[in-house]
């Protein structure tokens, strides 16, 4: 009889420990700092109402859930910047070609982005991403197709929702 009671008690304690650990992980994952993988998913542009897409060249395209629209923060833990990586394993790199491109991930400032201004629309926060290599330039949804590192101007083309 006591043996079964101890088993029930042990099982209950394990369940509480797992629940507490899961809650702690959820809290850490939602911390909102520029750490590895705190952001993971599509980046939605306010002006174009489309997602940042790496299908061929970096552009905005109607959101469709494809891997080309799934962006991960690859920055090291504790970094004060983001390194945007697609499911292809490449990183957003405006230094590749004349428009934003993607290239092999590396620690250079061509692939580093910091958060700039923000605004809240319908309870969701949109951010400007400033290019670390040239802080006068921001990730821009591209009024003409390609997403580019363009002069920061505060337009809706430069505000992104990233969950």
pLDDT digits (tens, 9 = 90+) for 65-121: 999 999 999 999 889 999 999 988 899 988 766 555 888 999 999 999 999 999 999
Mean pLDDT of the chain: 78
Q: What is the pLDDT of residue 151?
A: 92
Q: What is the pLDDT of residue 98?
A: 52
Yes or no: say if 103 and 117 are a contact pair by the CB < 8 Å rule: no
CA neighbor of 74 nearest in space, from 48, 113, 45: 113
The token pair at 123 is 């309870």
CA neighbor of 72 nearest in space, from 107, 40, 110, 29: 40
User: What is the H or E stretch that residue 8 is in?
Assistant: helix 2-29
Residue 64 clears pLDDT 60, i.e. is over it: yes
Q: What is the pLDDT of residue 26?
A: 33
Residue 147: which pLDDT band, with cuts at 50, 70 and 90? Answer: confident
Residue 22 clears pLDDT 60, i.e. is over it: no
Average pLDDT over residues 43-55: 93
CA 59 to chain centre: 16
Q: What is the pTM of this model?
A: 0.74
For the beta sheet containing 90-93, the strands, ordered from the edge strand earlier in sequence to the opposite edge, are 40-41, 71-73, 84-86, 90-93, 101-104
Stronger pLDDT, 25 or 65, i.e. the higher one: 65
Least confident of 27-36, 51-60, 130-139: 27-36
Residue 32 clears pLDDT 60, i.e. is over it: no
Which residue in the block uniquely carries the two structure tokens 């958060």? 115
CA neighbor of 156 nearest in space, from 132, 121, 131: 121
The Cα-based distances of 130 to 4, 11, 22, 41, 114 in angstroms read: 60, 50, 33, 19, 5
């Amino acid at each position: 009889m006591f043996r079964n009671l101890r088993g029930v008690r042990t099982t209950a304690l394990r369940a509480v420990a797992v629940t507490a650990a899961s809650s702690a992980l959820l809290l850490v994952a939602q911390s909102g700092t520029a750490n590895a993988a705190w952001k993971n998913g599509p980046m939605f542009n306010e002006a174009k109402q489309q997602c940042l897409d790496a299908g061929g060249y970096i552009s905005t395209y109607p959101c469709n859930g494809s891997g080309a629209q799934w962006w991960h923060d690859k920055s090291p833990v504790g970094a004060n910047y983001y390194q945007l990586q697609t499911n292809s394993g490449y990183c957003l790199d405006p230094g590749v070609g004349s428009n934003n491109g993607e290239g092999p991930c590396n620690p250079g400032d061509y692939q580093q982005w910091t958060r700039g201004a923000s605004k809240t629309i319908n309870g969701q926060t949109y951010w400007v991403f400033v290019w670390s290599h040239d802080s006068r330039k921001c990730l821009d949804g591209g009024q003409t197709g390609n997403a580019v590192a363009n002069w920061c101007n505060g337009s809706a083309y430069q505000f992104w929702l990233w969950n």
